[in-house]
Structure 1
Amino acid sequence: MLNTFIFLLHILPNIIGLVLNAVLFFLAQYRSPRAIKKYSILIVNFAICDFFACLTSLFVCQRIIPNGTSLFYISEGPCQYFGARTCYVSYSVMLHLYAHTLYSTLLSFSFRYYVLNYRPPSRTTLKLIILLIYLPSFVQMILFSFADDPPEILVPLLQAKHPNYNLAGRTVTGHLNVFEWKALSTILHMTLPVTPVYICILVLRRAIIRYLTESTMSPKTRHLHHQLLR
């Protein structure tokens, strides 16, 4: 019963995320007001990234089991019917999408602050910036995709450490040693930037609010900027 509840708790938020991001993509791509056409590029980027993050999360349904310096994954999603390698690479794709979502959020606030003080960049420039901030996440995905150890080694080890687990027919992937450089670089990239990025976001948000409060602009423009901060 508990396992079913946890499984549903994993599935339902991702299904909701798929629906909401599909709606967000449609509105940003086809219904954006002219005043935010350039900003809509960032919204579309975020919606696509988050949509596929939810999709890969559903596809993998990963259960993570840490044990000392080892890290095991049991995949309970549809990926298990395509093999352990498919599950692991899909998980790597999911993680890199999470990383890109973080950077995309920072880019969104940076853009909103920038356009309050300077001329908005062109659509081409925006797309190039998105590509540039995507590169670290892409490199992470490539490295992490080759950081796994063979399931035939992992399964006996996991079974020995947790003899109460029934691993018959389960899809198990993971790392014997998370301090191996490809795995460690991904862990560091997924964790270390989070705090400084969110501090930057909070600083930018406060600066934007202060600018909107102190500057002279039309009520419509002020309202639009406040709406984008929500």
Structure 2
Amino acid sequence: MHRKFLSLLPIVPFIGLATFFIGSFNVMHDNALESSTYMSSVEIAVVFIHSCCSITSIPLNLLMTFIAFRHIPASFSTFGIMLKIHALVDLWTALGSSASMLRVIPIDWFVLHISYGPCGYFGATSCFITTSIMFWG
């Protein structure tokens, strides 16, 4: 099983980068929404940095999960359990964060969530699910 897992590791950053570059294209051609689809250069830089961090955190967390499950000695069994849980929760959070790319805007007593990630192509329900996944971790 671990050979299949290791063979998938080089594919993960490519999928993340491809998703980011496909998502950065302007796919909304409605004139009423045209002004809302443009992002400033600062927003683009922040989204790009967030994408790079999320894309690199997924394979690193996969590697940490693999090492925690395969190479923890029996003498560290108590610490190993905590490390396994930590690795899985970090992986879960990285997946949710890279799928939603959340922007939080406080308005009086309310909080507005705007998702820049690929979940936006699948609707508001998928963005809500990925945000819940991210906050669960």
TM over 0.5: yes
Give 2:126's aligned amino acid: T
TM-score (norm 2): 0.65
Aligned length: 97
Q: Show the counterpart of 2:119.
A: 79
C-alpha RMSD over aligned residues: 1.3
Q: What is the Cα deviation at residue 77 of structure 1?
A: 0.6
Matches within 5 A, 1:53-68: 53-68=93-108
Q: Show the counterpart of 1:49.
A: 89
Give 1:15's aligned amino acid: I
Q: C-alpha separation between the residues in 2 aligned to 1:44 and 1:91?
A: 23
Q: Show the counterpart of 1:93.
A: 133
Q: Show the counterpart of 2:58.
A: 18
Which has the larger Rg?
1
Give 2:101's aligned amino acid: C
> Once the two structures are superposed, what CA deviation does each residue of 1:170-214 show, in whole Å capped at 9, x if it has no partner?
xxxxxxxxxxxxxxxxxxxxxxxxxxxxxxxxxxxxxxxxxxxxx
Consecutive unaligned residues in structure 1, runs of 5 or more: 98-230
Q: C-alpha separation between the residues in 2 aligned to 1:38 and 1:66?
A: 41
1:7 is the counterpart of 2:7: no
Q: What is the Cα deviation at residue 39 of structure 1?
A: 2.2
Give 2:43's aligned amino acid: N
Q: What is the Cα deviation at residue 84 of structure 1?
A: 0.7
Matches within 5 A, 1:17-166: 17-97=57-137
Once the two structures are aligned, what percentage of the paired residues are identical? 28
TM-score (norm 1): 0.40
**SS of match in other structure, 2:51:** helix
